[in-house]
């Protein structure tokens, strides 16, 4: 391998690393936002809060519909 060829390979490797780091950052951000790091207890509390508000809002809607 000539020095010129070596230089060319280094340039390609640097470019690939740069693209790789950039893509890694994007993927990491996407995963972090899509999968918040909640503990099992926090997840359960969040699900419970949603379910509780579902019930309250179902009752409010039923009242508005004259069913209760």
Partner 1 sequence: MKRLIIVLTIVFTGCAGRINPLQVSGTSHDSLALAQDIEAQICWGVADAYSAPKDSKIHCTAPLASTIGLTDARHKDINTKLSQAFLLHRSLNSLAESGGNVDYTALNALIQEVLAIVAQLQQAPQVVQLANAVKAGGK
Q: Which of 6, 8, 10, 38 binds partner 1 (CB under 8 A)?
A: 38
- Could you give the CA distance from residue 32 to residue 22 in angstroms, rounded to a whole number? 15
Binding mask 6-35 for partner 1 (x = CB under 8 A): ----------x--xx--x---x--xx--xx
51 binds partner 1 (CB under 8 A): yes
Q: What residues contact residue 1 under an 8 Å CB cut-off, 6+ apart?
A: 9
Token pair for 26 = 């994007």
- Least spacing, CB of residue 48 vs partner 1, in Å: 8
């Amino acid at each position: 391998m000539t020095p010129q060829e070596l230089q060319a390979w280094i340039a390609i490797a640097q470019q690939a690393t740069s693209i790789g780091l950039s893509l890694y950052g994007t993927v990491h951000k996407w995963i972090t936002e899509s999968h918040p790091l909640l503990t099992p207890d926090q997840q359960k509390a969040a699900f419970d809060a949603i379910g509780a508000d579902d019930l309250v809002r179902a009752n409010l809607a039923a009242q508005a519909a004259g069913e209760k």
